[in-house]
């Protein structure tokens, strides 16, 4: 039987990177103490979600993967605890900038970098100003065991069924989504938290795979516009889309759950979704509109 224990972290952030790293590290240690082998912090936990406005001085906070303070801290922690930590960070690569994720293994080494493929652009989420679209393609990594492969999409990627299905076809056995999402400045009455969960639970059901999602909480950038509030609701669900651990909108902590990958494989084969695929009929999906 192949079982894996995973964790999703939920917490608020400030513009103090050292405090943010310390707070994340505390929760990583808590999760590892409960047996977690893979611990997922939220997206861009190095600071407040800066993409709510366009400010050219904010590019200075980016750094290469081998120099970024958040990545270096998680490398040391992963090695000390012998766990995997998928680490989101603002990456600088020469003159280019990406919303990236470093997959850090239990030896503390970066196994590779995934650059966010889908980049949003709208009120409060003006990421196209800061980030180039990722050029790595989707990535899947070996997990705690060779047959427990980890697929990771970053935030806006989670709305696209193509992201989840592609990672599954690459061999993923679990899907992880670090996130920074909350209020919509253009519509104070719009709460996307329900759709956000449903989209990812749909990926779990249609691919028969567990999904782990980590979001931030709190209000950031408080000013005349009231700032931007992040709605949490981090969760872990099994291959049927049933929630096995969850937070609401305000809790700080580490969700921890043990998932049975052998059971998921059995159910995935039994449902026949991959047996009955008709790729020859899907060409329209990869054509320009």
Q: Provide the annotated active-site residues.
A: 43, 116, 155
Dist. CA 114–CA 200, nearest whole Å = 19
- 100 secondary structure, DSSP code: E
The token pair at 136 is: 């790595």
- CB distance 115 to 136 below 8 Å: yes
Q: Which of 164, 238, 255 is nearest to 207 (CA)?
A: 164
Dist. CA 203–CA 210, nearest whole Å = 9
- Where would I find the H helices in 122-258? 161-169, 193-207
Distances (CA, A) of 54 to 120, 131, 219: 14, 12, 18
Half-sphere exposure of residue 125, counting CA atoms within 13 Å on the CB side?
A: 19
Contacts of 1 (CB under 8 A, 6+ apart): 260, 262
Dist. CA 89–CA 43, nearest whole Å = 7
Contacts of 56 (CB under 8 A, 6+ apart): none
């Amino acid at each position: 039987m192949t079982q894996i224990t995973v964790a999703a972290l939920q917490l608020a952030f400030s513009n103090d990177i050292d405090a943010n790293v310390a707070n994340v590290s505390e929760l990583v240690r808590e999760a590892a103490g409960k047996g977690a082998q893979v611990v997922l912090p939220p997206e861009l936990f190095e600071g407040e979600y800066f993409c709510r406005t366009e400010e050219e001085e904010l590019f200075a906070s980016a750094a290469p993967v081998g120099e970024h303070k958040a990545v270096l801290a998680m490398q040391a922690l992963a090695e000390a605890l012998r766990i995997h930590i998928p680490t989101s960070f603002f990456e600088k690569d020469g003159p280019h900038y990406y919303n990236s994720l470093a997959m850090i293994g239990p030896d503390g080494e970066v196994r590779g970098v995934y650059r966010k493929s889908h980049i949003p652009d709208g009120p409060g989420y003006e990421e196209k100003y800061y980030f180039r679209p990722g050029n790595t393609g989707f990535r899947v990594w070996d997990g705690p065991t060779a047959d427990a492969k980890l697929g990771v999409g970053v935030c806006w990627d989670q709305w696209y069924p193509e992201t989840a299905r592609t990672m599954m076809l690459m061999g993923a056995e679990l899907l992880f989504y670090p996130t920074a999402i909350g209020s919509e400045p253009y519509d104070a009455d719009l709460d996307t938290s329900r759709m956000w969960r449903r989209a990812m639970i749909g990926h779990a059901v249609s691919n028969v795979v567990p999904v782990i999602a980590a979001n931030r909480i709190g209000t950031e950038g408080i000013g005349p516009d009231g700032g931007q509030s992040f709605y949490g609701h981090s969760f872990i669900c099994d291959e049927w889309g049933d929630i096995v651990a969850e937070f609401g909108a305000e809790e700080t902590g580490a969700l921890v759950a043990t998932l049975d990958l052998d059971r998921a494989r059995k159910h995935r084969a039994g449902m026949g979704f991959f047996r009955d695929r008709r790729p020859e009929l899907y060409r329209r999906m990869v054509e320009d509109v």
